[in-house]
Structures are given as structure tokens and as C-alpha cells.
Structure 1
Amino acid sequence: MLISSAPLRISLAGGGTDLPSYARLHEGVVLGAAIDRRVAVVASTSRTTAATRGAARACLDQCCRTADLPAVANPYARAALERYWDRNPLEIASMGDVPPGTGMGSSAAFCVAMVGALSPRSVTTPVQLAEAAAQIEMGALGRPVGGQDHYLSALGGFRLMRFRRDGSTEVESVEVSARTRARLDKELMLFYSGVTRDAAVILAAQDSHSRAENGDVLERLHGIKALTTDMLQALTSGDCDAVGSILHTHWELKQGLSSKVSLSRIDTFYAEARAAGATGGKLLGAGGGGYVLLHVPEAGQADVRALAQAHSFIEEPFRFELAGHRISQP
């Protein structure tokens, strides 16, 4: 039995420019980091018997025992099993620290953990693991998402990712001092809106605008990409105060990508949080609900927490995580 786990992530700047519809024309750049919230897949191989030969028992969205993979309801698991299961008896189950569809990259983390649990011989490095997971979500399932989540989940830490026109990806480690990480752990606050959504539905609108070369959307994406330079400077120099203002600029640019990016109750909460002391923030992932990240100096945190409670937002404490995918045994 083994536990294959992969961290969730926070995109700090450049999110959305990793979608192929933008990156293949203009090259995307994303800066993000893994956090200490994870998705885990527990896998157990059992002794072959007449009853278990060539069968898998999967307890994911629902439990099923089958040798017929189309019966596996979870599309990510089904695609991973189709590609990497060696047909030896297998039992798998999964669990995660946050609900799916909340902008934390949980689908990518699940794909990373799932491929890691199946341990294919063709996947031997974290980069290969990221690419295998991305191929499941973007290739096999055809979802209009980008590749940042898979790299952050597989590699962990702070990463700057460049998505080239030829479809290749270059990943650089970003060195953030322990002192800066500790301060950001205290000053960045994460709140769950209580709303889940399918990121592909929201990103499909951006994808369509990018393919049609919508001028306003492209200019906003160019601006979001440019923020990665500012965020990189802020992180490596330890300028945590600048992080909030960069996040706020990101918020304003992202609002115009699609009418589905935000909700009125989230906009109201964000405006009131800014008035109470937050210097900036962003909707994680595609938007449309999920989690809101805020930069709040310590003096304003009590007031922001009170606002969150009044608006029925739930705080999710977190820390940045340097470790990526890992395998452990119970």
C-alpha cells in the first residue's frame, strides 16, 4: 500500500496566459507556488485470485469494482487508468483538503497523485509527472485549461513557468527567503466563498476570446503576464507590501476577461476587505467562486476576519510548501 500525494497551488501572477490559445501565439508566463494543502490517492495492490484478476476497485466519486474502465465514473481516474494501469489487481481511493472546483488546482493535483500512484515506468522525474498529468487533463479529456497547476503540484515550491509557442514549457525555481515566506504565510489570507464551479466553463470564454483575438481580452492578458516580472522582484527582494498592490492590479485586469470571473457577493466582500485593511487580492483559478486570496497586514486581519464571517466566507489557513509530489507508506 502506498499514499501518493500532491500539493494544491496558488497562482500569484500570470494565470490564464498558460492556456494554449494564448501561449501558442504570445507565450505565457505564470508565477505560482505550492501550498501545504494536498490531494492524496491511496493505492493498494492485492494478491491475484480468480475474483480479482485484471480488476480494479475504485472509491473515488463512488465505489466500483470492475475490469471495464468505462464504468469508472471519475473521468480523470479513468483516463489515468487507461494509460498507466498494468492490469494487476488494484484498489484505489482518494481524498483532498479542499472541495473540487474551487480554484486551487485540485484536478491537476489529483492527476499528479493518480499517475504517481500507478507508478508507470515511463514517468521517472517530477517534470515527466507534470507532463503526464497535463496530458490527461488537456489531452485525453480536452479541457481548456493551462499547464501551470500540474507543474506546481508535481514540483512544489515557488516556480516561474514559461509556456512557449512551440508547446514546450520551461520551469525555473524562484528563491524566496525563509524570512519572506514566513511573513507571507502570516499576511496572505485565504477565504472560501462556498461556491464551486467547473473551471473549464469559465476558461472556455477566455479561450474563445483569445482565439478570436479579442483586443480587450488580449491586452488584459498581456498585462497579467507583465505582472509576473513585478511579482518576481517583490518575492526575491522580500518586498511583501508590494505583493498586495500587484495582486490588486491582477484583480482589476482579470475582471474584464469574462462576465463569469466574479460574483457580486465576492466583489462586495473584496471591496469591504480592502476598506478594512487588505492591500489587494485575487480570485484563485478561473474565478466564478472558489477561493479568494487577500494580502492583509497584521493590523487589519481581525477586521477582515470579522467581515468574512459576516459574508459567510470561511478562512483556510495555509503555508507555502516547498515539497511537490511525494510517495509514502502508512
Structure 2
Amino acid sequence: MSGAADLWVSSAPLRISLAGGGTDLPAYAHRFGGTVLGASVDLRVTVFGRRARAATAIRACLDSCGSADSVDGLANPYAREALRRHWDGSPVDLFSTGDVPGGSGMGSSAAFCVALVAGLSGKERSPHDLAMAASGIEMDGLGRPVGRQDHFLSALGGFRQLHFATDGQVTVEDVPVADDVVRRLDEELVLHFTGTSRDAGAVLGDQARAAGSGERGTEARLHEIKELTGPLREALTRGDTTEVGRILGRHWELKRGLGARVSLPGADRAYRDALAAGATGGKLLGAGGGGFLLLHVPAAAREGVRAAMAAHGMPEQPFRFDPAGARLSRL
């Protein structure tokens, strides 16, 4: 751990991908270019680091607690790879905590990588540099079949439209959403936990293989998913939150066709009941296969939808949109 500080605290937000998810995967983006529109929320991953006094090189409470004399002894693969790339070798204690379970579709692994890299780096890094370094841990170091959208949304924060060029370059556009529209979105977009977590890499691997092999059905669905970012941006900027819900629903119709593991029978039943109770649309976040179900629910339908989801054993997770990206304090 570089620098003079004995203690640092870093955090990075989780994200909600609203449209275009999956088109950032290299198997698609390197052929056609990808576009994702998403936003950061007030749920975060926080990492605490301290220059250690013990003889053991690394003491860590991440997924579990333990000590190691080298990075190879760490159980957490993201921490192993982050330390290989960004640790100066001096003894360090690490502890992390998150506001939601891992594998729930909100980009928690990316937020962890962003926060850890921010803390381990001995210098301030730009959000773009931080996102590239964090995504390199997963994509290059660990070989996971993921894209960079989570890392960029976590590092930058706010409502953003991300463009993934065929040469691997990433450009970012701010999406202007008025404060009163954000407040309405805070009230009308709700999260319910399906009770199931999963490894996004396993779900995305199927999609990446289909896209990489030129499977036309997968390509066509991803093309349309990418095209949804335009209408969604227009709906956000003009404050049409009902249209946001409809676009989420169309996104989910397309996404369910990307692979057998994208949806779950229980999630499908709960989604149908939510629509019957008055939700205008929604989708499973992230790769799918479990995690959080995002719904657009007009105020008049809120209690009915809440009751329908409770009947499926899917509790609500409170959240609000938050423009803050990665944060770092050194003490």
C-alpha cells in the first residue's frame, strides 16, 4: 500500500443498468460497438485498508477472514488480482462490506474492484483510469466474460450513457435528468430481491459464446437492446417515467431470449403478478439468473405490487439514485 496514510476508506456505488446491458461484452462490442445507459445508486461497497503492524503480509476480512504471507494465499480472487497489480508489498489489513449480497445483479464485484484499486493506489486516479484498472482485474486478470459498464458507472456515478467502440475505447456521456424526474424515479422504481444469487460470469459466458459465434438470434436481440438506449434517454430527459417502465419491460422480453439461464420460473411468475397488480414493466438486473427484480410502479399501484411480491417471498430493497461515484479518504 503506497503513500503515507496509515488508514484509508474507499467506497464505490452499485449501479442499475437501464438499457443496453450486454452490448458492452467484448464478444459483441468488438464487432458492432456497444451502448449502455445506467445510473449509480446510494447502495455501496466500502473497503477499509490499514498499514499493518503484524508480521503477516496480508490480513483480510473480505468474503471470509484470514491471513496470508502472499497474495496467492487470499481466498477472494478479486482481491488477489488487485493486490498483484496495485499493492506495494507492505503489510496491510483489509476489510470490506457491502449493502447487498454479491451476485445480485447490481455490479457489486465491479464496485469492490473500483473501491479496492482506489485505496491501494498511492495517487489519485481519474474516474476513467480507475474504471479501466478495475475492469482489467476482472477481464484481463481473471478472464471473466464481462464488460466494463459496471466499473465505469461505479467509478463515475450519475446517469451515464457509455459507448464501447470496436477498438476497445470507452467514451462517456452525461445524461441530463432533472431533479424532479430523479425524485419521481426514486419513488416509482422499486427493487425486490428474488432470494437467489448467481455468478454473472456463468450466465454471461453463454451469451458471449453465442454472440462470438455469430448466432443471429442473439445478435438481433442485442442490436435491439442497444437501440433501446435512445428511447430510454429521451424518456428520462422529458420526464416520462411510465415510458421508462415500458422500455424496461421490452428490454426484459429481449433479454430472456439470450439464454436459458437468464430468467427463473419464480421470477417470471412474480413479474407477471407485478404487471397484473399495476407495474408497467421491469427486468432482472445484471446478467439475470437471479438477484434483484427492478419494477416501475406508479404510485396508485404501489401497495398492490408490494403485496404481490411479498406473496412470492421477494422483499423490497430501498434505494435512491445518487450521483456520487467512487470516494476515497486517507487518514
So what's the TM-score if we normalise by structure 1? 0.96
- 8 Å CA contact 2:118, 2:125 repeated in 1: no
The answer on 1:16 being equivalent to 2:22 is: yes
CA shift, 1:239, in A, is 1.2
- Paired residue secondary structure (1:152): helix
Partner deviation per Cα, 1:21-46 (whole Å, 9 max, x = no partner): 00000000000000000001001113
Q: Structure 2 CA distance, aligned partners of 1:295 and 1:257?
A: 22
- Equivalent in the alignment of 1:33: 39
- Equivalent in the alignment of 1:5: 11
- Equivalent in the alignment of 1:88: 90
After the TM superposition, which of the residue ranges 139-148 and 235-244 deviates more from structure 2? 235-244
Q: Structure 1 CA distance, aligned partners of 2:213 and 2:262?
A: 19
Query: Please, which of 111, 114, 124 is the counterpart of residue 113 of structure 2?
Result: 111
Partner deviation per Cα, 1:117-164 (whole Å, 9 max, x = no partner): 11244x621110000000001110000011100000000000000000
Partner deviation per Cα, 1:270-318 (whole Å, 9 max, x = no partner): 0110011000001100000100000000000101100111100010011
Question: Any residues of structure 2 matched to 1:196-235 within 5 Å, and which?
Answer: 196-235=197-236
Question: Any residues of structure 2 matched to 1:111-130 within 5 Å, and which?
Answer: 111-121=113-123, 124-130=125-131
Q: Structure 2 CA distance, aligned partners of 1:129 and 1:87?
A: 20
Aligned length: 325
- 8 Å CA contact 1:209, 1:217 repeated in 2: yes
- Equivalent in the alignment of 2:73: 71
Gap runs ≥5 in structure 2: 1-6
Write out the 4+ residue segments of structure 1 that deviate beyond 4 Å after TM superposition. Answer: none
- What amino acid is aligned across from residue 168 of structure 1 in structure 2? Q
- 8 Å CA contact 2:270, 2:309 repeated in 1: yes
Q: Structure 1 CA distance, aligned partners of 2:321 and 2:177?
A: 11
Identical aligned pairs, as a percentage? 55
Gap runs ≥5 in structure 1: none
Q: Structure 2 CA distance, aligned partners of 1:295 and 1:2?
A: 38
Q: Structure 2 CA distance, aligned partners of 1:288 and 1:23?
A: 22
Q: Structure 1 CA distance, aligned partners of 2:67 and 2:261?
A: 38
Q: Structure 2 CA distance, aligned partners of 1:38 and 1:198?
A: 19
- 8 Å CA contact 1:14, 1:224 repeated in 2: yes
CA shift, 1:329, in A, is 5.8
- 8 Å CA contact 1:64, 1:71 repeated in 2: no
Question: Any residues of structure 2 matched to 1:1-330 within 5 Å, and which?
Answer: 1-47=7-53, 51-52=55-56, 55-121=57-123, 124-328=125-329
Q: Structure 2 CA distance, aligned partners of 1:73 and 1:184?
A: 39
After the TM superposition, which of the residue ranges 255-264 and 65-74 deviates more from structure 2? 65-74
- 8 Å CA contact 1:282, 1:294 repeated in 2: yes
Q: CA RMSD in A?
A: 1.1
- 8 Å CA contact 1:79, 1:140 repeated in 2: yes
- What amino acid is aligned across from residue 12 of structure 1 in structure 2? L
Q: Structure 2 CA distance, aligned partners of 1:14 and 1:243?
A: 13
